[in-house]
Amino acid sequence: MSTEWHTEQRSRRDARPWLLLIAFVVVLLDRLSKIAVEHHISMGSGKVIIPKVFRITHVLNTGAAFSMFAESASPLAVRIGLIIFSIIAALAVLFMLVRYGKHWSAASVGFALVLGGAIGNLYDRAVLHYVIDFLEVHIGSYHWPDFNIADSAISVGAVLLLVEMIWPSESATDHADGSNKTANGDVLGA
């Protein structure tokens, strides 16, 4: 069998089931890590991993990213607003993944990571009424706000989407018009 046949077969495979699996793995790792933190690190304390650089902590975030709105006079309104926003965002990203995720690209993986991260934090907000943050990073005298695996997945996914916008992959340019071209320009099914 020729290399062209293998390339054609690979480009015909739908990446969406694998991308949804990536999103599921992000949610699973996020939940398991938060459960481990809840059971092994007392609230407000932490374990030093790399002195003066990285700690595993246990903090509760009732706000949004970087604890925005955490000190709101109306925490219930903030929580409901964040839940609604998260649901809309997750549905929009799921739509984008289903619509544009048939082929592997930085963008399709980015959508999967953002979807998994959004669902991970949405679960916390809806069920626990707060998000568990536990990764603490210091760079020199700067202290980055505590975050979690879901936040990391969203950030990495956003970077991948930006990379795809700046430097589109062959998959994105070949399939942007909905055509069935392979990476070498052949049309599938022709």
pLDDT in tens, 92-145: 999 999 999 999 999 999 999 999 999 999 999 999 999 999 999 999 999 988
Q: How far is it, in rounded angstroms, from Cα 154 to Cα 152?
A: 5
For 65-85, write each residue's pLDDT tens digit: 655 555 665 667 888 888 999
Which active-site residues does the annotation give?
133, 151
Indicate the DSSP class of residue 187: B
Question: Who wins on pLDDT, 2 or 132?
Answer: 132
Burial grade of 96 (CB within 10 A; 0-12, 13-18, 19 or more): middle
Per-residue model confidence (pLDDT) at position 190: 42
Per-residue model confidence (pLDDT) at position 1: 53
